[in-house]
Chains A and B, each alone.
Chain A
Amino acid sequence: MSSETQPEPVQPIEVLYCQVCTFPPEYCEFGSSFTRCKEWLKESHPALYDKYYSDEALQSKLGTLSLEAQAKLEKDTAEKEAKAEKKADAALKKKMASQVSIKRMERNKRKFVTAIHGLEAFDVELKKASKFLAQKFATGASVTKNPQGQDEIVVQGDVAEDVLELIESRTGVFKSVPSANVVIVEEKKKKGE
């Protein structure tokens, strides 16, 4: 509060964040994964778990909130949780149905590039993956937008088969990509060529 200058910086408070929902654990009750949050806290920070979820804590937590409002909150949380689970299920299904395509494309006079599309659906960081490929094949690789406006990795040279192999062996950055979801596709010949 005083206006005199303090020469020493104030050290930051290290706030613990829930590994499940990213909130400080005291706010997990408002998230959409309360059950899993509680399991995580009990496992990794048992003392904090007792602090937040002992009978006493639950009593005092009510604060100025009426019992009725608390019941409503708990019902809301349960509904949110069920909804989030459904959504996660649907997202997983969608993910497992999505496809990674590796396409060899001809650039003037027997020069090829290889475009890899759809990796982000499997939580692959495109920039990292493109760096990795560039290093692996000692060539150029970049993340670019395709004509549909989606990001894809473009590697210089015809490396489609090698990329497929890397993904199938679940090397490094590709370990989260199921090989069943990867296909090599042929470039459609443009009309008049």
Chain B
Amino acid sequence: MFNKFSPSTDVTGQTPPKSSVQRSIRAAILSQCKIGAETLEQVWPKKESLIHVKCRNHISIYTIHGEPLFFQQSDGPIYPTLRLLHKYPFILPRVGIDRGAIRFLLSGANMMCPGLTSAGGYLPPPENALPAGTPVAVFAEGKEHAVAVGITKLGTEEMRKVNKDIGVEIVTHLGDELWNQQTL
């Protein structure tokens, strides 16, 4: 989503949403991410106004004091930025890629199933299987911190079964143009 992105050409406006809209954004984050209201309060205090940074391609980035915290495309799921995920790694369910896949991910590729199902990869056990369309934290073999945020294109059990094609679409990763915008 942010392999090509430049604030000077892609940002079309910055506005604080109406408070009713802010409430619904907060509710959406609480229902979609595994973050408690009190922890979210620490990240985004109720008395502070979120700023909606409108971008091309129907991308919305939400910031507090200029720091990007969440983003969304059209009415799709709300994702945390990778820096926020680093602070609270539990807010999204985890998948893992093997070491061989890291450099492809960092150059902007989506993750193919074999990189997730191999010995160095990680998918949740069957009892915690994730359906297609779930936002996930993408971890990497041998690394402590997440390398990307993505969304499953197949259910995790399906990934094991078919073991080809794209398993996880990457929405933001270490070193992409959203990562490079520490403030907006």
B145 proximal to A (CB < 8 A): yes
A9 in contact with B141 (CB, 8 Å)? no
Asked if A180 CB lies within 8 Å of chain B CBs, one says no
Whether A7 pairs with B38 at a CB distance below 8 angstroms is yes
Complex contact B38–A64 (CB within 8 A): no
Is B106 part of the contact surface with A, judged by Cβ < 8 Å? yes
Say yes or no: B144 contacts A63, CB within 8 Å: no
A39 located at the interface, meaning its Cβ lies under 8 Å from any Cβ of chain B in the complex:
no
Minimum CB–CB distance from B61 to chain A (whole Å) comes to: 18
**Bound form: Cα–Cα A67–B90 in Å:** 33
Q: Which of A26-34, A95-103, A132-140 is found at the contact surface with chain B? A: A26-34
B98 interfacial contact with A, CB 8 Å: yes
Q: Which residues of chain B have a CB within 8 Å of any CB of chain A?
A: 36-39, 41-43, 86-90, 98-100, 102-103, 106, 118-120, 141-145, 147, 174-175, 179-180
**Given known contacts A23-B174, A30-B102, is B89 in contact with A13 (CB within 8 Å)?**
yes
Interface size on A, residues (CB 8 A): 27
Q: Are B145 and A15 in contact (CB under 8 A)?
A: yes
| B145 and A64 within 8 A (CB) | no
**Additional A-B contact list (12), CB under 8 Å, known A10-B90, A14-B87, A64-B98:** A6-B38, A9-B36, A10-B39, A13-B87, A23-B175, A24-B174, A26-B144, A27-B143, A30-B102, A64-B99, A65-B99, A65-B120
The docked-state distance in angstroms from the alpha carbon of A61 to that of B102 is 13
A22 CB within 8 Å of chain B: yes
Taking CB atoms and an 8 Å cut-off, the chain A residues in 33-70 that contact chain B are 60-65, 69
Does more than half of chain A's interface fall in helix, strand or loop, or is it mixed?
loop
Closest Cβ–Cβ distance, residue A4 to chain B (whole Å) = 10
* Minimum Cβ distance to chain A for residue B174 (Å): 6
Show 18 residue pairs from A and B whose CB-CB distance is below 8 angstroms, ordered by the A residue: A5-B36, A5-B37, A8-B38, A10-B90, A12-B43, A13-B87, A13-B88, A15-B87, A23-B174, A24-B143, A24-B174, A27-B106, A27-B145, A27-B174, A62-B99, A63-B141, A64-B98, A64-B119
Contact of B87 among A5, A12, A31, A73 (CB under 8 A): A12
- Which residue of chain A has the shortest Cβ distance to B141 in the bound complex? A63
Q: Does A123 contact B (CB under 8 A)?
A: no
Given contacts A9-B42, A31-B175, whether A26 and B36 have CB atoms under 8 Å apart is: no
- The interface residues of chain B lying within 8 Å CB-to-CB of A60 are 142
Q: In the assembly, what is the distance between CA of A62 and CA of B144, in Å? A: 15
A76 at interface (Cβ–Cβ under 8 A)?
yes
Q: Which residue in A7, A21, A24, A65 is a CB contact (below 8 Å) of B86?
A: A24
Q: A12-B88, A30-B106 are in contact. Are A24 and B145 (CB under 8 A)?
A: yes
Contacts of B143 in A (CB 8 A): 24, 26-27
